[in-house]
Every structure is written in C-alpha cells, then in structure tokens.
Amino acid sequence: MADLARSPEQIGNAIRRVRKKRGMSQAELGEKTGLRQGTISLIEKGHSAAKLETILAVLSALDLELRVNERTKQTMLADALLGYGKK
Amino acid sequence: MADLARSPEQIGNAIRRVRKKRGMSQAELGEKTGLRQGTISLIEKGHSAAKLETILAVLSALDLELRVNERTKQTMLADALLGYGKK
DNA sequence: TGTAAATATACAAAATAGCGTATAAAACTG
DNA sequence: CAGTTTTATACGCTATTTTGTATATTTACA
C-alpha cells in the first residue's frame, strides 16, 4: 500500500498488483473503465504517455487514489527504509 | 500537503499551490520541465487531460511525488474531516 | 493608476493515445 | 501436455494533446 509513484512503471506495477489482489483480469478492468484490455496492458507495463484521465479512471475502478506529497526528509528516509529507489 | 488527487483539477490545484510557494512563475516551471508556459497553465487549470509523463515531470520539478493509496474507511473518514469531496 | 510581469487563450501543425479488430505469445489448469 | 484463459502486440483510424508563436487579459506593485 501507499506505493511510491514516481514513474509510469511504478504506477503500472501498483495497478497490476492491486488488480490481481482483486482477482480481476485486464479484460474485466477494461470493462469497468471503458478501456480495452490492450490499453490496460500498456498502462501496467508503464506506458509513459498514457493520459492522466485514463490512469485516474483505472485507479478509481480499483478503489485506489493518488496523493500529492512533498518529498521531505522524512518521506525520503521512510522510502529508503522501505526499500524504494533500489535498482 | 498530501493533497488528494482524484481529478486533473485537484492535481492542477496542488501544482499551482506549491509552485507559488516556491516563488516560481509558470514560465520558470516550464523552463525547468521543457514545457511551455501555456501548457503549465492548462495543467494547473485541470483542463487538459495531460499525459502522465508531463504531470510527473512537473511534480518532480517541484519536489513533489505521487503515491498510490487504497481508499480505505480510514482515509475516507480522514478526507471527510479535512473537507475533501465537498462541492 | 500606469506599467511591467504573469497568466489565459488562439490557431494551425505535428505527435500520439486509445479504439476496433485481430492475433500471437504466455500463463494456468485439469 | 492439450486446451483455455490471460496478456502482449499489430495496423489503420480518429480524437485529442502539445507545440510554436503570438496576443489578450489579469494581477502585482511602484
């Protein structure tokens, strides 16, 4: 939870993880959002140029949401401890 | 901080708020991100369903980041108390 | 209030996302 | 390991975003 989303890849990973947790296929998620299965596939793979709107629709269908955070020392420390930013 | 970003408008508002806090003009932010002043304007107004890439570039230039959260009862209660979701 | 800075907007051109349809490739599963 | 489900990918097409350039409009402030 509370995945860092600093790149399309990270967002895609978060989406895929939660979709599976919900036991949903890409086709089902597409149905729910009005997107094609192929589009969901692209997004999960980190399609960099996806439209914001599209991403938000997918997140919403999975009961997810975005938050805008400042990168403070605290959050950066927390990320390090949680292993974010690792290659 | 930690603004909810459920729509392009909300993201735009967060961006504008922080840009001003940083004492930056739209032109300066555009310079930093390789986007036009006019594009920054559109993003902040939430009019454009901008590309994810573009949003991430702007956020990064402002030392902001996104997090993907599940909408739990807790977060929904917190939002209500903080006045999110009001018309 | 007058002027400079900042922001909103316009228009044609260029780039590209998502669609529809379809299929190939991969992952499950009995 | 054959059959099925799921996921990745392709192509032409249309819609829409971003660009470049330019100019209104608004805001700030001396």
Better-scored residue on pLDDT, B82 or B29: B29
The per-residue pLDDT for range A42-85, each reduced to its tens digit, is: 999 988 788 998 999 999 999 999 999 998 766 667 666 765 54
Estimate in Å the CA A11 to C1' D14 gap, whole number. Answer: 28
pLDDT surpassing 60 at residue B87: no
Cα separation of A66 and A10, whole Å? Answer: 13
User: What is the predicted pLDDT for the residue at A79?
Assistant: 65
> Confidence band (pLDDT; 50, 70, 90) for B78?
low
Residue among B11, B53, B65 minimizing CB distance to A48: B53
First to last CA, chain A: 20
Is B41's CB less than 7 Å from nucleic acid strand C? yes
Query: Helices B37-45 and B8-21 meet at what angle, rounded to 10?
Result: 120
B81 at interface of A, judged by CB pairs closer than 8 A: no
pLDDT surpassing 80 at residue B79: no
Which of A14-18, A62-66, B2-6, B33-37 bottoms out in mean pLDDT, i.e. has the lowest? B2-6
First to last CA, chain B: 20
B57 at interface of A, judged by CB pairs closer than 8 A: no
> Confidence band (pLDDT; 50, 70, 90) for A87?
very low
Sign for the CA dihedral angle at B23, A69, A5, A63 comes to negative
Q: Give strand D nucleotides closer than 7 A to any protein Cβ.
A: 5-10, 16-22
User: What is the predicted pLDDT for the residue at A78?
Assistant: 67
**What is the residue whose two structure tokens read 């950066």?**
A76
The per-residue pLDDT for range B9-67, each reduced to its tens digit, is: 999 999 999 999 999 999 999 999 999 999 999 999 987 678 998 999 999 999 999 99
> Confidence band (pLDDT; 50, 70, 90) for A86?
very low
Q: Classify residue B67 as exposed, middle or buried by CB count within 10 Å of its CB (0-12, 13-18, 19+).
A: buried
The residues in B 5-24 lying below 8 A from A, measured between CB atoms, are: 5-8, 11, 14-15, 18
Cα separation of A18 and A15, whole Å? Answer: 5
* Residues A69/A50/A16/A71 CA torsion (nearest 10 deg): -10
Among B3, B68, B9, B45, residue whose Cα is nearest residue A58: B68
Residue among B1, B7, B15 minimizing CB distance to A69: B1
